Amino acid sequence: MTITELKHLYQRNLLAEAIVEPAESDGGWIVEFRHTQGGFLLLTDTHGAECQYEDLDLASKTAMAVGFSEVRIEAK
């Protein structure tokens, strides 16, 4: 889901948590969100491709841009 779509879900109180975790490839980071009704939503670009960040701080700031004041970081 794009950041805009995720912001709409956050505003409707449908997201429970923001999580930054290691990407499976390239040693980067991905951002996902836990839905209040279960399941996870991955941050993607407008073409549906997974957004990856090389910098943990940038990934965290992006997750917080959705609306959360804190983000859970999963260890590598």
Q: What is the rounded CA–CA span in Å between residue 24 and residue 5?
A: 24
Please state the domain extents for the chain. 3-73
Percent of the chain at pLDDT exceeding 90: 92
Taking Cα atoms as reference points, which of 6, 22, 3 lies closest to residue 14?
6
Reported pTM: 0.91
| DSSP type of residue 9 | H
pLDDT of residue 76: 66
Predicted confidence band at 19 (pLDDT cuts at 50, 70, 90)?
Answer: very high
